[in-house]
Amino acid sequence: MNEQADSPPNAGRLTANGPLILHGRIRHVPREGAPAAEYTQVALCRCGASGNKPFCDGSHAKVGFADAGHCARPPEPPQGAAEGDLVLHPIPNGPLRVDGRFELATTDGQRFVCGEKTWLCRCGASGNKPFCDGTHKKTGFVA
């Protein structure tokens, strides 16, 4: 079920101080060559502390993750609508790469389309959340 009646088939929503909720036809490939699991909705960890990465397990509340869920620098929009398959590829010790197009809504009312490849921060330290800016290398993020 989409959050808003006019949302496209693939829609994501940032939450303040918490995960990114993503709806669509979603496959998760835990590592290259591994079988994929399929979902229609996932909550993606943004704080780096989940014990069930790349999914949220509520740890953001325990570690005091603080992020308003805004986006200072939206990406250039891809060609095409926010539909089709979405595939989650966790990059070892780095971001979560999402292959496919999805619309992302921020907590301050922005809506824009991401894709064909989007690198979402999952370490909690990016200066350009919700996207990776390479800070995970400086912080020694391990996942």
Binding stretches for ligand FES (CB under 6 A) = 94-95, 121-123, 125-126, 132-136
CA trace torsion 38, 43, 49, 51 (10° rounding): -40
Report the nearest approach of ligand FES to the CB of residue 15 (Å). Answer: 17
Please identify, using beta-carbon distances, which residue of 58 and 94 lies nearer to ligand FES. 94
Terminal Cα-to-Cα distance of the chain (whole angstroms): 30
Please identify, using beta-carbon distances, which residue of 25 and 117 lies nearer to ligand FES. 117
Please identify, using beta-carbon distances, which residue of 87 and 125 lies nearer to ligand FES. 125
Q: Are the C-beta atoms of 19 and 46 separated by less than 8 Å?
A: yes
Report the nearest approach of ligand FES to the CB of residue 53 (Å). Answer: 11
- CA dist list (Å): 141 to 11, 40, 72, 136: 27, 28, 23, 5
Report the nearest approach of ligand FES to the CB of residue 23 (Å). Answer: 22
Q: Are the C-beta atoms of 67 and 48 separated by less than 8 Å?
A: no
Q: Which two tokens stand for residue 93?
A: 């010790």
Please identify, using beta-carbon distances, which residue of 7 and 65 lies nearer to ligand FES. 65
Report the nearest approach of ligand FES to the CB of residue 97 (Å). Answer: 10
